Amino acid sequence: MRKINSVHFISYEDRGKISGRFMFVVIRLVGRNLWDLRMESPERRFSMATGIRAAEQTLSGIRDLHIDINKGIFQCGYLHRDIKPPNFAIGREEDGNPHTIYILDFGLCRKYRTDDKDLRYMREKAAFRGTTRYASIGALEMKDQCRKDDVEAWWYMVLEWMIGQLPWKHCRGTDRAEVKLYKQQLRIESNLRKVLKHTPEEYMANIIMYIDTLEYNSIPDYDHIAAHLEAAMSRTCSSES
């Protein structure tokens, strides 16, 4: 993955192996992660403008992990499988990039293509990978994950930093069935409107409805999602001016 051409990936400095013990990589130091930054924000949520800009950058990082084309050559093809705020961090003032968000922690990554660049066949059942709070419904059902699952987890992450807490915040990591039920019930129109009340409701609703149309072999339209975020930003700026 060191060949990925993206501003949202940290410089890969070195790697090595301690015989019989572990392998390691050396990456450039980054700043604070988005979980810590949110927890220190008023009401534990970002301002709407900050939340939307963070959503745009994190989506861009996920897109670059999924698909990286450099000079017409397909180079990447990985699922993250653990999208959550602690796995994104800002740059450092000392490096002159404090407003850039980086995607971190590739320990649960999995290639979704074979060496011949074909899409892997969907397994009938797969072990759970991820963090229950943000995991997609499919992941919670032990289904083989795909690009859709990363994007769905991203939406829950964005929702959290827009409203301050998710409806299933009280659930433990082992309460997968309960969290799955909360997420399914969120699709009921009245529930969705209530949860999105203090967000750019129209755009957040359109994004999750679009995500729900995706299937295992679907290529998410990242530009379509980004367009909703940009429209939400325009609406936010207009209302604040």
pLDDT at res. 232: 97
Of residues 81 and 3, which shows the higher confidence score?
Answer: 81
3-class SS letters over 68-133: CEECCEECCCEECCCCCHHHEEECCHHHCCCCCEEECCCCCCEECECCCCCECCCCCCCCCCCCCC
Domains with residue ranges and CATH for the chain = 24-240 (1.10.510.10)
Banded pLDDT at 19 (limits 50, 70, 90) = confident
pTM check: above 0.85: yes
The H-or-E segment that residue 204 falls in is: helix 201-211
Query: What integer pLDDT is reported at residue 175 of this predicted model?
Result: 96
239 by DSSP, 3-state: which?
Answer: helix
Q: Cite the active site residues.
A: 82
pLDDT digits (tens, 9 = 90+) for 77-114: 899 999 999 999 999 999 999 999 999 999 999 999 88
Mean pLDDT, the chain, integer: 92
